[in-house]
C-alpha cells in the first residue's frame, strides 16, 4: 500500500542512494502530507536515516530528485529543520545551552550579524517549551542524554521552520523526555507544522504517528498509520525478524497489556 498525497509537502521521485556501489535506498517514489506526524519505520540498516539525509541533501543521490514545498531544498531551506542523531554530535564542543539554541536563529540573521535581544527571547521561550530554561548557562557537555536531546529540539524550534526532520529523537532518552517530545510533536502538528521522525519501536509507532512509512531498502508502504501498520506489511518490512514483534503488535491491538508503563 503506497498512498499518494495531493499537494504533498515532500516528494521523492525515483530516489536511489548507493554507498560503495551497494544500494541503501532503491527506487523510492514517495509523497508525504503536510501537518502530520510521520514515522519512518523499518529494521536496522533499512535506509531510514539515509532517506532523511537524502531529503536534506546530505548524501549524494545516484538517481532521482526531491521536492519540498514543490521547490528544491535550497529554495526553502529556512523553512526546514533537521535534528540529527545524538551520536553524530560532538557534545564536548564548548558551548552553553543557550548558545546551542541560538544557533537555530542564524538562518534569520544577516551575514556576520549577532543575535539580537529578540533572538535570545525566542530561544529562551523554546527552552521553556522543552522544560530546560533553568539550564541556559550550563555547558552542553554537562547534560544527560535526555537533556541534550531536549536542547537540540529547542534549537530546532528556535528556527521557526514549517517542516522538521528528526533522526531517532527517542534514542537513549528517559521516559519523561520521550513523553515530552511526543507532546511537543503533537503541539507542532496542531500549529500546522509537519514532523518526520526516524523511529524503530513498533510498540509506540501506532500511538505516536498519523502517517507511517515502512522501509527496507525499498519502499514497502506509505499511508495512514492505522492502515499501514498491519501484520502483513510489517512482515514484509521486517521479514523473519518480525515473529515476536508481530505477536506484540497483536496483543497491543487487542489491548491485552499496556503499550508502555505509566508513572
Q: Do 173 and 125 share a structural domain?
A: no
In a domain, 82, yes or no: no
Q: Do 176 and 240 share a structural domain?
A: yes
User: At 261, is the pLDDT very low, low, confident or very high (cuts 50, 70, 90)?
Assistant: very low
Q: Do 192 and 63 share a structural domain?
A: yes
Q: What is the pTM of this model?
A: 0.83
User: At 13, is the pLDDT very low, low, confident or very high (cuts 50, 70, 90)?
Assistant: very high
Q: What is the mean pLDDT of residues 243-247?
A: 49
* DSSP letters spanning the chain: -B---SS-SEEEEEEEEEETTEEEEEEEEEEE-TT-EEEEE--TTSSHHHHHHHHTT-S--SEEEEEETTB-HHHHGGGEEEE--GGGS-TTS--BHHHHHHGGGGGGSPTTPPPPHHHHHHHHHHHHHTT-GGGTTSBGGGS-HHHHHHHHHHHHHHTT-SEEEEESTTTT--HHHHHHHHHHHHHHHHTT-EEEEEE--HHHHHHH-SEEEEEESEEEEEEEHHHH--HHHHHHHHGGGGHHHHHHHHHHHHTSS-SS---
Tally of structural domains, the chain:
2
What domain range is 190 assigned to? 1-69+162-263
Q: How much is the pLDDT for 245?
A: 47
Look at residue 53 and tell me whether its pLDDT is greater than 70. yes
Q: Do 263 and 173 share a structural domain?
A: yes
Amino acid at each position: 500500500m503506497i498512498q499518494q498525497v495531493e499537494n504533498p509537502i515532500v516528494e521523492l521521485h525515483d530516489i536511489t542512494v548507493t554507498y560503495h556501489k551497494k544500494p541503501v535506498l532503491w527506487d523510492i517514489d514517495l509523497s508525504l502530507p503536510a501537518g502530520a506526524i510521520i514515522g519512518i519505520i523499518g529494521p536496522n540498516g533499512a535506509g531510514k536515516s539515509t532517506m532523511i539525509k537524502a531529503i536534506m541533501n546530505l548524501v549524494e543521490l545516484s538517481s532521482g530528485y526531491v521536492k519540498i514545498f514543490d521547490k528544491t531544498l535550497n529554495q526553502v531551506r529556512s523553512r526546514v529543520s533537521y535534528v540529527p542523531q545524538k551520536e553524530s554530535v560532538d557534545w564536548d564542543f564548548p558551548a552553553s545551552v543557550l548558545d546551542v539554541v541560538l544557533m537555530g536563529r542564524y538562518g534569520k540573521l544577516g551575514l556576520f550579524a549577532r543575535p539580537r535581544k529578540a533572538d535570545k527571547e525566542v530561544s529562551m521561550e523554546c527552552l521553556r517549551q522543552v522544560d530546560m530554561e533553568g539550564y541556559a548557562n550550563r555547558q552542553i557537555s554537562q547534560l544527560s542524554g535526555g537533556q541534550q536531546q531536549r536542547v537540540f529540539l529547542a534549537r530546532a524550534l528556535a528556527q521557526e521552520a514549517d517542516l522538521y526532520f528528526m533522526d531517532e529523537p527517542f534514542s537513549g532518552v528517559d521516559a519523561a523526555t520521550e513523553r515530552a517530545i511526543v507532546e511537543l510533536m503533537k503541539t507542532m502538528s496542531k500549529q500546522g507544522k509537519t514532523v518526520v521522525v526516524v523511529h524503530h519501536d513498533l510498540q509506540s509507532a501506532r500511538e505516536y504517528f498519523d502517517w507511517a512509512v515502512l522501509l527496507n531498502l525499498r519502499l514497502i508502504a506509505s499511508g495512514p498509520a492505522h492502515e499501514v501498520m498491519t501484520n502483513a506489511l510489517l512482515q514484509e518490512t521486517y521479514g523473519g525478524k518480525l515473529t515476536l514483534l508481530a505477536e506484540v503488535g497483536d496483543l497491543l491491538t487487542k489491548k491485552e497489556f499496556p503499550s508502555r508503563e505509566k508513572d
